[in-house]
Copies of this chain bind each other. A is one copy, B any other.
Amino acid sequence: MRIRFSASTYGSCYNTVIPIHACRAVSTQGRGGVHHKEFSTVTLTGSQIIACELVAAGKDGVRTVSPLDGVELDPAVRSATHREIDQAADAAGSAWPAYRAVPPAARARFLRAIAAEIEDLGDTLIDRGYRETALPSARLAGERGRTCAQLRMFADLIEEGSWVDARIDTALPDRTPAPRPDLRRMLVPLGPVAVFCASNFPLAFSVAGGDTASALAAGCPVVVKAHSSHPGTAELVGRAVMAAARSTGMPAGVFSMLHGPGRSVGIALVEHEAITAVGFTGSYSGGRALFDAAARRPHPIPVYAEMGSINPVFVLPGAARERGDAIAAGLTTSVTLGVGQFCTNPGLVVGIAGDEFDALAAATGRTISNADAGVMLNTRIRDAYVDGIAALGARVAVEQIAMGRGHAGPEQGTGDAGAGGGRAALFRTSAAALLEDRSLAVEVFGPSTLFAAARDRDELMALARSLTGHLTCTVHGTDEDLAEWGDLLAILEERAGRLICNGYPTGVEVSAAMTHGGPFPATSDPHFTSVGTAAILRFARPVTYQDFPDVALPPELQEANPRRILRLVDGEYTRNGFSRGG
């Protein structure tokens, strides 16, 4: 009963380097004959992609600015017109019946072809990503590895097929007082999905990232809204998806990609009647705007918005005493990773006031002080971070206890990685102050964290209870701590999608058991994860067939179980077939 994909191969990538699939030098057969792909000379167009075609029409374009040096990057990118938004969504709607009928094995080939096309982009993709996001090449290469691994993971998942949660109750024609009909249920695709790219994951949560991969795997066409921070990276990946769709014979409307502001192009896309679900990773205000627009529709649709969180870390007394220095080092690594631009960045560290917690804060202060500044993703994020830490430091109840290396001042884009706003910062307050004023614990997107000392156990528990929904909550504790603080774990579990013991929240494994989600406002729908195989469940819904002849049913529900998937048949989980009525 071993299913074909092995969870061990997909890897983690937020804080680790991923084995990169060797960039293949492939000969391809073009119209003009055999040639080598020369992506280093690829010409970006700044166009929309509509139904797998680059579209030339549109408004005057704007150039994105490199965070590295403030230089405007070619090409100018045009915002999608209303007509183009309609065309993309309508094409997705038209392609849906054909795409959902594509057998899983062919959809899997499509997903794998996307991964191969992305790898074929080679250094062109990494170089452009670096110019647009300032993320180092090694990080981008790792993220590319994760992106391709995710696509292949979903290919494996749908080839194996048990994800459809098939359930069969065979007919009981002789049951009294009434017979039971034959009932067969499985998950089917929801319909066209709008995917919003994230600024902080130009590959793994953008054009061909987790949302797109899981939607395409489920059988849903995708319309991507590219992020204005990295339009060239988006176009490269979009063209890779386009090429893969063509080479594997998918209906053209299966993929489109639009440029433009979220507040206009994005909202119009979400309001389009052909769209049936939305995937989003970004800010609270952006996610909430899409959620509200979707809820206001005549026919509301689900929005899976991952809106970030502060990912509280609780350091219990025994752990603070025994491993304070190690925790300080680990926290600093986690806080500063990727210039703090992860949704799982730990923004709050809570412990019991006393010598141990003071020592932990001091040790963390030392490591934070030694951390180098990094260039942030764009000037808007940089400015928000600089303003955010200035505002936090100015609060009466808050003390700034450390600041990382790097030139002071607001400049970014001088070519000097140390000159930007991305300096690490460490603050301290009391749990009492946080309890009094929740606004102290607001997310500051970037490499900063806030230590909060609770007077005693009761105050720490009160602080835990005051938390809203988060992607993660972390506890550092000895075995004795954990035994003693079971009630804290119970409280945290009600408020998070993932609980971490003696670790750090950055680093999200892409696997079957991952939950990257959580209660509002971490996400807009607590039932789902956006990372790992279960992410596909966002884009599917159950359908029951009653008394259909076997031949008219999908293979997943046929008596013989030709796909050998795991099914619940008359109360028994089995990969065996059955005979009708038996």
Contact = CB atoms under 8 A, between A and B. Distances in A.
A177 B16 contact: yes
Contacts of A176: 19
Interface stretch (A33-41, A54-62, A367-375, A519-527): A519-527
A543 B483 CA distance: 20
A544 B514 contact: yes
Contacts of A540: 527
B574 A509 contact: no
Interface string A496-529: 1111111100010101111101011100111111
Contacts of A162: 573
Contacts of A524: 300
A571 B18 contact: no
B19 A546 contact: no
A17 B177 contact: yes
Interface in A521-579: 521, 524-529, 534, 537, 540-549, 551-552, 566, 568, 570-574
Given A2-B572, A573-B1, A291 B299 contact: no
Given A295-B291, A520-B299, A549-B501, A169 B7 contact: yes
A3 B503 CA distance: 37
A482 B553 CA distance: 11
A434 to B, nearest CB: 19
B549 A169 contact: no
Interface stretch (A78-86, A184-192, A383-391): A184-192
Interface in A1-29: 1-8, 11-12, 15-19
A180 interface: yes
Nearest to A288: B300
A494 interface: yes
Given A183-B513, A499-B548, A543-B499, A8 B188 contact: no
Contact of A545 (B18, B178, B499, B528): B499
B574 A1 contact: yes
Interface residues of A, number: 100
Contacts of A568: 512-513
B6 A544 contact: no
A8 B167 contact: no
A189 to B, nearest CB: 9
Nearest to A291: B300
A43 to B, nearest CB: 35
A493 B479 CA distance: 52
Contacts of A514: 169, 183, 185, 544
A292 interface: yes
A318 interface: no
A7, A483, A547: residue with the most chain B Cβ atoms closer than 10 Å: A7
A417 to B, nearest CB: 23
A263 interface: no
A552 to B, nearest CB: 5
Contacts of A292: 295
B178 A512 contact: no
A571 B191 contact: no
> Which of A96, A544, A547 has the most B CB atoms < 10 Å from its CB?
A544
Nearest to A493: B543
B169 A547 contact: no
A298 to B, nearest CB: 9
The 4 A-B pairs of least Cβ separation, nearest first, read: A16-B178, A295-B295, A183-B513, A515-B544
Interface of A: 1-8, 11-12, 15-19, 96-97, 101, 162, 167-169, 172, 175-178, 180-181, 183-185, 188, 190-191, 276, 291-292, 295, 299-302, 468-469, 479, 482-483, 486, 489-491, 493-494, 496-503, 507, 509, 511-515, 517, 519-521, 524-529, 534, 537, 540-549, 551-552, 566, 568, 570-574
29 contacts: A1-B573, A3-B573, A6-B570, A6-B571, A7-B169, A11-B180, A12-B180, A16-B178, A19-B176, A97-B490, A101-B490, A169-B513, A181-B503, A181-B509, A185-B514, A292-B295, A482-B552, A483-B552, A497-B542, A501-B545, A501-B552, A502-B547, A503-B546, A512-B568, A513-B544, A527-B542, A529-B542, A566-B573, A573-B573
